[in-house]
């Protein structure tokens, strides 16, 4: 299901286009210079445009066919909420070899805006569901107690 693009806040379409293009520079350009992108499932915190570009590059290198599809979105003041699906077939997932299996999970993202730029983005989704779909046991994935920073 794809949201009707006319009803989306403009930043959402540009952000999803950058993910679907797997374009680190296009994504990082959407953020303020000191912006941050946090993936709560993988406990990654990317700071600044360079860190954000690195996160997108790692993601697209490990999941070359990664794809996003916006379900719906709304904006209230400087906050934008996005519900979307994230899918792909990982060749690698962190240090683990892919299994050739694909996943599709629902993600909830909050974008905090500063003018027309993203000051921060936070993704939240069920990592256990993703791992189950690609048949990697949860206990084999190296999760750290604290976030890793890029």
Q: Which residues contact 145 (CB under 8 A, 6 or more apart)?
A: none
User: Is residue 1 predicted with pLDDT exceeding 50?
Assistant: no
Q: Over range 61-77, report the average pLDDT.
A: 97
Q: Is 77 left (phi over 0), alpha (psi -120 to 50) or beta?
A: left
| Section 107-134 average pLDDT | 97
- Beta carbons of 45 and 38 less than 8 angstroms apart: yes
For the chain, strand residue ranges (E) read 31-39, 44-47, 67-76, 79-88, 92-93, 96-97, 103-114, 117-124, 148-149
Q: How confident is the model over 27-39, as pLDDT tens digits?
A: 999 999 999 999 9
- Cα–Cα dist 130/76, whole Å: 30
What is the chain's mean pLDDT, rounded? 93
pLDDT reading at 5 higher than 70: no
**Residue 86: what pLDDT?**
97
Encode pLDDT of 73-112 as tens digits.
Answer: 999 999 999 999 999 999 998 788 999 999 999 999 999 9
User: To the nearest whole percent, how much of the chain has pLDDT over 90?
Assistant: 82
Q: Cα–chain-centroid distance for residue 52?
A: 10
Tokens representing 64? 């070359």
Give the percent of the chain with pLDDT over 70.
93
Task: Pick the closest to residue 87 from 70, 107, 103 (CA basis).
Answer: 103
Tell me: pLDDT of 2 over 70: no
DSSP state for residue 139 in the 8-state scheme: G
Q: CA 53 to CA 11: how far, in whole Å?
A: 17
Q: Which domains does the chain have, with CATH numbers?
A: 5-138 (3.10.450.50)
In 3D space, the residue among 45, 64, 65, 63 whose CA is nearest the CA of residue 55 turns out to be 45
């Amino acid at each position: 299901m794809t949201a009707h693009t006319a009803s989306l806040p403009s930043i959402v379409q540009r952000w999803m286009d950058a993910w679907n293009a797997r374009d680190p520079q296009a994504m990082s350009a959407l953020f303020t210079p000191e912006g941050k992108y946090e993936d709560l499932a993988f406990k990654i915190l990317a700071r600044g445009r360079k860190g954000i570009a690195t996160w997108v590059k790692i993601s697209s290198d490990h999941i070359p066919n990664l794809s996003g599809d916006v379900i719906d979105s709304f904006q209230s003041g400087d906050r934008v909420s996005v519900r979307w699906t994230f899918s792909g077939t990982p060749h690698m997932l962190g240090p683990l070899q892919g299994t050739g299996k694909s996943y599709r999970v629902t993600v909830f993202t909050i974008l905090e805006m500063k003018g027309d730029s993203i000051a921060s983005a936070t993704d939240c989704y069920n990592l256990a569901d993703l791992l189950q779909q690609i048949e990697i046991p949860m206990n084999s994935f190296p999760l750290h107690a604290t976030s890793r920073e890029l």
